[in-house]
Structure 1
Amino acid sequence: MAGIYIHIPFCKQACYYCDFHFSTNLSKKDEMVNAICKEIELQKAYLNEPLNSIYFGGGTPSLLSQKQLVKILQTVHDNFTVNPNAEITLEANPDDLHTESLAYFKAESVNRLSIGIQSFHDAHLKYMNRSHNAEEAATAVKKARNAGFEKLTIDLIFALPDSNHQLLKSDLEKALQLETEHISAYCLTIEPQTVFGKWKRNGKLTESDEEFAAEQFEILMNTLTKAGYEQYEISNFAKDQNYAVHNTAYWKQIPYLGVGPSAHSFNTVSRQFNISHNHKYLKALQEGSLIYEKEILSINQKINECIMTSLRTMWGYQNQKMLTAYNFDLLKEKRDTVKKMIQYGLVLQDGETLKLTTKGRLQADWIAGELFVEEIE
């Protein structure tokens, strides 16, 4: 089963930490929706499997009107076979979740909401330039539940500048009170092109050090695990196996099509990267063409991507998969490295499968890098 990602490149205002592609000029929303629908039509041959997930990301997809949402979903159904039980996720800001919007999201078959809360502290929300406050965050989740949404996930950010462990614990306590099936929690990364990046260069912001971030991550893991959540991916926690279907497909190298400016696509053979420029994207689609970069993946790229993504999950790196696909035996080729990581308590080996320990999750990217392979003939 494949998936489709739809990038809605609009936000009411810019969050100071965000480096995703978006515009705060909402005047081109209708044109963008038409262009996205055109791209879906042009890309209908990209996937040859039914869709098991449709994911509206951004930007802020909750800014879509009912008419715009209907148009995109209808175009998807007209050009792809969609599993009747497909997961249809829409990212939403809390201040966009009101009675009317929740009603039409539900009416148009959106069955999972990803609510960008980030923090339950007004001072933090203001510091990040979020468009909602703490009360709206909690209320939005309750409204969504009352509207009949059975699958909800919330986003949180930790290791914020000038934060402390008590504030994080308070955030987690409030998150747990909402009883959502899924929580995604991300360590703040200061990207150069963001407002936070500018503040850092000017000495206005001091990024949290690695030790503090690691301590926060340990608090996060321990708290959510004790509360019954399963850490099925480094940043994602779920109760009762409510794993995100769409995101899990990414980590398992399942094909997906990305539409909209800046969206990425993957079909196991290559990756495509749409242009990150609204005007150029619109112009190209109005002319019936696409602008994207394409990368044909080498064998070692495929193996390394599998190492990177699978190790982030609770299912781990399954050696037999690469043996079957490419006759590559990581456990043999990286025997000494694997042995050292087991000795250091970073990795567990269960038969032909490698998994990160709790300690290893703190160093996931470094571990993956140590296991990466060189070019294979």
Structure 2
Amino acid sequence: MAGIYLHIPFCKQSCHYCDFHFSTSMGTKERTIQAIAQELELRQDYLKGQVVKTIYFGGGTPSLLTQPELQLLLQTIKRLFIVADDAEITLEANPDDLKPEKLQELKAAGINRLSIGLQSFYEPHLRMMNRAHNATESLQCVKDAQAAGFNNITVDLIYGIPAPDHSIWLQDLETLFSLNVQHVSCYALTIEPDTALGRWSKKGKFIPSEDDFTAQQFELLLEQMAHHGFVQYEISNFCKPGYDSRHNSNYWRGVHYLGVGPSAHSFNGHSRQYNVANNRKYIDAITVQTIPAEIEKLTLADQANDYLLTTLRTIWGCDLTQMREKYNYDMQATHQLYLQDLAQKELASIKDGVLYLTDKGKLLADQITLDLMVE
């Protein structure tokens, strides 16, 4: 079992919070897509004959792909790899791109799961983030997608946006639930240095929310998601039963995946590969049949830390027996007192040899993970 990720590095405009690799210039778009198809050719042996069960178009804004571009990439994958008949094929999309005609094109191409970047239903917040869509489009695109026959839809929302109180966030959640989507990803607004918000924050032109305010919104999120029948299967991800993201779940379970396109990452269990985050350098390298990537060989400690980092965030927890037998790391012996302290503070628990974070612990997941890592 394996997955393929395709990074489409183009956007109409720059969101003020985003630090992913993308370009707002479309001058190299056609050549980049051709290069991605070529990279698939060059790397067709990376997954060693494993069955591809998930394909994910991320970015950037993959909904900017034309129908011929999308068909080129999907047809190339199906020609070079063994793709399961029931493969999950996800495409990230911005609401302003999802007109009825576009939705029909995506459906006809074989996309069976949409990931829609709504972020908010509140117009001032959308403008603050410099989103390319408005609040009306946030609502309409989901309804249009459902009318087009998409029955596996996930949407993104951002919390922790500065506000006088939690009323806007609660209204966003109420609107979300009215749409009856199958999956939701929710992320706290993070101020990255090399973004517009990061630069404004440094100059005092933007004041981020206090940590307590953001934590309160996360707690409201957990409460409302549970009330509406959503399962929190990863800290930031919620689904109706049976609708977890198979692609992202495979990341968290250590399944191998091939990443193609500028800045894409790949993982085969023993190493990670990082493509150059520069469109022109990427195109130039692929043109001469070279993969423009750095390779990181993973030590046993690296593999243990990867397993801890990914599994501890999920509903499945971190299997301490596997940590000991596969990665030679006896966490219970090394961190006995710390694990007891986590249990006493109701931040984590161990059941049947598996370490789980509680709802309180999820607020401190990054620090707890760091404390438990192999040094």
Q: TM-score range by the shorter chain?
A: over 0.9
Separation of aligned partners in 2, 1:118 and 1:77: 33
State the match for 2:95 in structure 1: 94
Is contact 1:161–1:205 with CA below 8 Å preserved after alignment? no
Which residue pairs with 1:44 in the alignment?
44
Question: TM-score w.r.t. structure 1 length?
Answer: 0.98
Q: TM-score, normalised by structure 2?
A: 0.98
Letter matched to residue 18 of structure 1: C
Letter in 2 for 1:144: A
The match for 2:5 is 5
Instruction: Please state if 1:186 is matched with 2:187.
Output: yes
Q: Deviations over 1:147-184 (max 9, x none)?
A: 00010000000001236311100000000000100000
The answer to whether the 8 A contact 2:303-2:327 is kept is: no
Aligned-partner Cα distance in 2 for 1:210–1:268: 35
Task: Write the distance in 2 (CA, Å) between the matches of 1:306 and 1:335.
Answer: 19
Where 1:27 maps in the other structure, the secondary structure is: coil
Matches within 5 A, 1:192-271: 192-271=193-272
When residues 77 and 25 of structure 1 are mapped into structure 2, their CA distance, relative to the original with a 3 A threshold, is same
Partner of 2:150: 149
Q: After the TM superposition, which residues 349-360 of structure 1 pair with which residues of structure 2 at under 5 Å, given as runs? A: 349-360=350-361
- Tell me how far 1:335 sits from its aligned partner: 1.5
In structure 2, the residue matched to 1:168 is 169
Report the identity percentage. 48
SS at match of 2:27: helix
Counterpart CA distance in 1 for 2:183 and 2:316 is 18
Q: Which runs of 5+ in 1 are unaligned?
A: none
Cα distance in 2, alignment partners of residues 6 and 255 from structure 1 = 14
Aligned equivalents of 2:325 and 2:80: distance in 1?
33
SS at match of 2:238: strand
Alignment deviations for residues 324-371 of structure 1 (CA, whole Å, 9 cap, x no partner) = 313332222222211111111000110110100010011001111111
Aligned to 1:322: 323
The 5-angstrom pairing of residues 298-317 of structure 1 reads 298-317=299-318
Secondary structure of the 1:22 match is coil
Q: Deviations along 1:219-241, whole A, 9 cap, x unmatched?
A: 11111111100000000000022
Corresponding position of 1:62: 63
Pair 1:22 & 2:22 matched: yes
Whether the aligned pair in 1 keeps the contact of 2:47 and 2:268 (CA below 8 Å) is: yes
CA offsets 1:289-322 (integer angstroms, 9 cap, x no match): 1111110011111111111110100100011222
Counterpart residue type for residue 199 of structure 2:
K
Matches of 2:363 and 2:214, distance apart in 1: 9
Q: Aligned partners of 2:215, 2:40: CA distance in 1, in Å?
A: 41
- 1:137 corresponds to which letter in structure 2? S
Q: Is the 8 A contact 2:117 2:156 kept in 1?
A: yes
Q: Where in structure 1 do 4 or more consecutive aligned residues deviate above 2 Å?
A: 161-164, 326-329
Cα deviation 1:54-99 (Å, max 9, x = unaligned):
0000000000000000000011111110011110000000010011
